[in-house]
Amino acid sequence: MSENNPIQPNVEDFIQDHKEKRKLLERWPHYFPHEPIKDFDPNDFKHLCIQVFFEAFSLPEFQQYLEWEKKEDNFENVVVNVNYSSLYGCGNPNIKQFLEYVYEHPNDVIKSIALGLDNVRLYIYGFNDQRVVILRFYNFNQIFPMSMIKSHLINKFICIRGTVLRVSSIKVLVESI
């Protein structure tokens, strides 16, 4: 435990005490099922992202950016809502740098942040329930009207603003028989 705050452990001591940073990758298959687990590599983008967000969200001052949904009927997932704009402006240059990559590489960054939060649940708060963290950003700054959504935005993380005018049931499009 940290001398400054007996409740909050020192994150650097935690990583040293838990067989280095390899422990941060234990739940890797739950987030990246098609990639094999490997040793922690400080030059790997995903590994570094996991470490940065684990260290940040282990601190009490970063808890204000997280809104954990408390639904007792969801046994498979834990949903965390994060205000993107507030977190981006938190003053931490490492977090800001990774959040800038969300637009171009949403799958890798969002899953890495979720794995970092999963490690916070497991190692800092002691939840060992095997539930996967689902990360949801809101207040994202890349806003597009529906008329501007074209093929150049495929595989990008964007925000859509508009009003729903009509809702109908799903209709199957049959192209050939």
Evaluate whether 55 touches 11 at the Cβ level (below 8 Å).
yes
For residue 62, report the phi and psi dihedrals to the nearest 5 degrees: -95, -5
Give me the residue spans of the domains in the chain: 11-160
Helix (H, G, I), strand (E, B) or coil at 106: helix
Looking at residues 2-29, what average pLDDT do you find?
A: 57
Instruction: Give the pLDDT of residue 2.
Output: 34
Instruction: Give the pLDDT of residue 145.
Output: 81
pLDDT digit string, tens, across residues 69-86: 877 777 788 999 999 999
pLDDT digit string, tens, across residues 95-129: 999 999 998 999 999 999 999 999 999 888 888 88
Q: What CATH fold (topology level) applies to the domain 11-160?
A: mini-chromosome maintenance (MCM) complex, chain A, domain 1 (3.30.1640)
Q: Kindly give, in sequence order, each residue whose CB lies less than 8 Å from that of residue 136, ignoring residues fewer than 6 positions away.
A: 79, 80, 81, 82
For residue 28, which of 86, 108, 106 has the smallest C-alpha distance?
Answer: 108
Across the chain, what does the average pLDDT equal?
82
Instruction: Give the pLDDT of residue 20.
Output: 57
Instruction: Give the pLDDT of residue 43.
Output: 84
